[in-house]
Amino acid sequence: MAQLLLPSLLQTLDPMPSSTLVSSSSTATSSSSSSSLSPSSTDIVAEVTNKVFFDIRIARQDGSTYVRDDLPDTFENRVISARITMGLFGKQAPNHVEKFLSYVLPPKDTDVDNPYPAFSRSSFTSLNQETGLLAGGYIPSLRVSDIGGSTALTYGSRVLPAPLWIEKSSPSITTTKLSHNAKGLLTHKTLDVTPTFGITTRPEPSLDATHTIFGQVLWDDSTVSLFRDFEDIPTYALERPAGYDDFNTGGLATSVYNAQKDFFRGAAKSFGDTRVSKLYEGKLLRRVEVLQAGIIQ
């Protein structure tokens, strides 16, 4: 069963000054504007030390992204491009921010056929209904492996260290762990060595015991637009929740899911990625990929 389940995140807009963008492939100047949501959900909860962007593309419901003029101009048939801007809390969670930035701008290598894993080749995969986390940072073919009795990350022919993102304690640094009490917070699971992260779509203090907040979405116009589009993307659910008033939405979304199922399974073979082919609750029923990631200076 498929449903439209992403909660609303958005309200009003306010201006924000221009910034310089640095990515792994280009440098540019961008003029953007920020969105001021309700103070309870959008106040900056810690000092922002770094700003980053993801350029995101959402495929049509059939998985295609190429130019087409033979389809009706509906949301399901549009290829959506947008930029999400995020602020990182380098003083509050320095180890998390360091690890996160290593995937924003990975080490450069002359071997173009054997790149390092990067957010520029990642995707947003699901919305967890229990926690309200929008899952991002999933890099196809990046796997956790046991090599010689130690945990490592493997990506293509590369074998990379897999340290935990846990913050180091220091007498000179005293910080209070932030609570998952707002929308738009960036969070990482404590014992996860991969770069997958979540964006909160609602307050969820139960995550405090298992996750660490290291940043926050910055609501400029493009980010607001993207999350409005996220709200309209159905997710796959195994069961219809009690009291869900469908008005045929479930049937439509299920047909959308069935149309994309073959695409995702085909993509799994292309990427050598077994997880893409799996059916699981909360999976986004549109392909949401990060085309480019970079640092805003």
Which residues are CB-neighbours of 34 under 8 A, at least 6 positions away? 13, 14, 15, 16, 218, 219, 220, 221
> What pLDDT shows up at residue 234?
84
> What pLDDT shows up at residue 280?
63
> What pLDDT shows up at residue 231?
82
Q: Which fold has domain 2-135+163-296?
A: Cyclophilin (2.40.100)
* Owner of token pair 């957010």: 119
> What pLDDT shows up at residue 35?
34
Pair 225, 82: CB distance under 8 Å: yes
CA 195/CA 158 separation, integer angstroms? 16
Q: What is the DSSP string of 74-88?
A: -GGG--EEEEEEEEE
For residue 186, which of 146, 216, 159 has the smallest C-alpha distance?
A: 216
Task: Report how many helices (DSSP H) and strands (DSSP E) the chain contains, helices first.
Answer: 4, 15
Which residues in the chain land under pLDDT 70? Answer: 1-42, 110, 171-175, 238-280
Q: How far is CA 197 from the centre of its chain?
A: 7
> What pLDDT shows up at residue 279?
54
> What pLDDT shows up at residue 293?
98
pLDDT digits (tens, 9 = 90+) for 67-76: 998 999 999 9
Domain ranges of the chain: 2-135+163-296
